[in-house]
């Protein structure tokens, strides 16, 4: 009787262990995918169209508006605000910066164009149509990229922070730190606000990051490696994102690149 009871108990234990092992095996893939959920999704891109780009333009800011392309360029003595025809690349208007300034990002809000300088702690405000300078403002830290969310100017400075400036006072009202699963994301350069996200490219990297403007979390990355392989110098990095909101077209280019690419994100 005792032996039979023990056998019965052993069978019960074996069945229980078998059940647990089965559950473990079934659950294992779900556990692994749960771990992977914390990794930032990476998407590719498909080139829809190519347009000419001035190979001497050290692109630091790119905006699409009014059916045209606005570009801010860098390098002392070569920095300018430029209006371009997208299809032909023809230079339609140009405003040179004083040779002591190294031009950086640009953005257009209302009837104004805003342009940063790199290390001179100054930003310029121009009339959108005439390119006449109407104001300047103090910029603490370095100036890298700039965009806006309709309410604030959003500025990158080479650090992992994005600063939000009041449009009227042009002073900082808040900042967010950009981070992904590896920690703080530094060297965020040219910016574009697209459908509620801040898109940025990272200096010396061939990808875009899409940033949640509330939390600073990188929602996804877009791999653009292979877009421009014919690089004469290390300076020829991806740096330029422009969004044609009316036609939902996304353009990217880089410093001294010969082409502007219209791309679509591929899942
Ligand atoms: Ca831009």
CATH of the domain at 139: 2.130.10.10
Q: How far is the CA of 219 from the centre of ligand 1 (A)?
A: 18
- The pLDDT assigned to 23 comes to 47
For the chain, residues with pLDDT lower than 50 are: 1, 23, 25-36
Q: How far is the CA of 97 from the centre of ligand 1 (A)?
A: 19
159: tokens are 């650090």
Same-domain status, 91 and 220: yes
- The pLDDT assigned to 38 comes to 83
Same-domain status, 30 and 129: no
Same-domain status, 50 and 20: no
- pLDDT 10s digits, 63-79: 999 999 999 999 999 99
Q: How far is the CA of 183 from the centre of ligand 1 (A)?
A: 24
Q: How far is the CA of 63 from the centre of ligand 1 (A)?
A: 5
Same-domain status, 214 and 95: yes
Q: How far is the CA of 3 from the centre of ligand 1 (A)?
A: 80
Strand partners, 153: 148, 165
Same-domain status, 140 and 104: yes
Q: How far is the CA of 261 from the centre of ligand 1 (A)?
A: 14
Q: How far is the CA of 147 from the centre of ligand 1 (A)?
A: 6
For the beta carbon of residue 155, count every other beta carbon within 10 angstroms: 29
Same-domain status, 29 and 60: no
Same-domain status, 251 and 143: yes
For the beta carbon of residue 112, count every other beta carbon within 10 angstroms: 14
Same-domain status, 53 and 18: no
- The pLDDT assigned to 230 comes to 85
Strand order in the sheet with 146-148: 146-148, 152-156, 161-166, 172-177
Q: How far is the CA of 187 from the centre of ligand 1 (A)?
A: 15
- The pLDDT assigned to 16 comes to 57
Q: How far is the CA of 104 from the centre of ligand 1 (A)?
A: 11
d(C-alpha 265, C-alpha 250), whole Å: 9
Q: How far is the CA of 192 from the centre of ligand 1 (A)?
A: 4
Asked if 208 and 258 touch (Cβ cutoff 8 Å), the reply is no
Same-domain status, 21 and 138: no
**Structural domain total, the chain:** 2
- The pLDDT assigned to 34 comes to 39
Q: How far is the CA of 228 from the centre of ligand 1 (A)?
A: 18
Q: How far is the CA of 39 from the centre of ligand 1 (A)?
A: 26
Same-domain status, 143 and 172: yes
Same-domain status, 105 and 152: yes
11: tokens are 């069978």
Q: How far is the CA of 64 from the centre of ligand 1 (A)?
A: 8
Instruction: Determine the distance from the C-alpha atom of residue 52 to the mean position of all C-alpha atoms in its chain, rounded to a whole number.
Output: 22
Q: How far is the CA of 91 from the centre of ligand 1 (A)?
A: 18
Domain range enclosing 24: 1-38
Same-domain status, 115 and 27: no
């Amino acid at each position: 009787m005792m032996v039979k009871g023990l056998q019965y108990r052993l069978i019960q234990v074996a069945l229980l262990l078998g059940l647990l092992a089965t559950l473990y095996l079934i659950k294992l893939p779900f556990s692994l995918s749960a771990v992977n959920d914390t990794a930032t999704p990476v998407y590719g891109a498909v080139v829809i169209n190519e347009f000419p780009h001035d190979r001497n333009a050290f692109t630091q800011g790119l905006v699409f508006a009014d059916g045209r392309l606005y570009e801010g360029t860098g390098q002392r003595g070569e920095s300018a605000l430029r209006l371009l025809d997208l299809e032909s690349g023809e230079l339609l208007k140009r405003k040179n910066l004083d040779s002591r300034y190294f031009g950086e990002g640009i953005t257009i809000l209302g009837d104004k164009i805003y342009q940063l300088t790199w290390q001179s702690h100054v930003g310029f405000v121009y009339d959108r149509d005439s390119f006449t300078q109407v104001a300047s403002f103090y910029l603490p830290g370095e100036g890298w990229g700039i965009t806006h969310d309709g309410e604030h100017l959003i500025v990158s400075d080479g650090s992992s922070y994005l600063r939000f400036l009041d449009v009227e006072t042009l002073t900082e009202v808040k900042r967010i730190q950009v981070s992904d699963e590896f920690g703080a994301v530094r060297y965020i350069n040219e910016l574009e606000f697209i459908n509620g996200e801040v898109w940025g490219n990272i200096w010396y990297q061939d990808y875009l990051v899409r940033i949640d403007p509330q939390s600073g979390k990188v929602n996804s990355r877009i791999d653009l490696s292979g877009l421009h392989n014919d690089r004469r110098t290390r300076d020829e990095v991806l740096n330029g994102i422009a969004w044609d909101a009316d036609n939902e077209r996304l353009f990217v280019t880089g410093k001294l690149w010969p082409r502007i690419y219209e791309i679509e994100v591929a899942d």
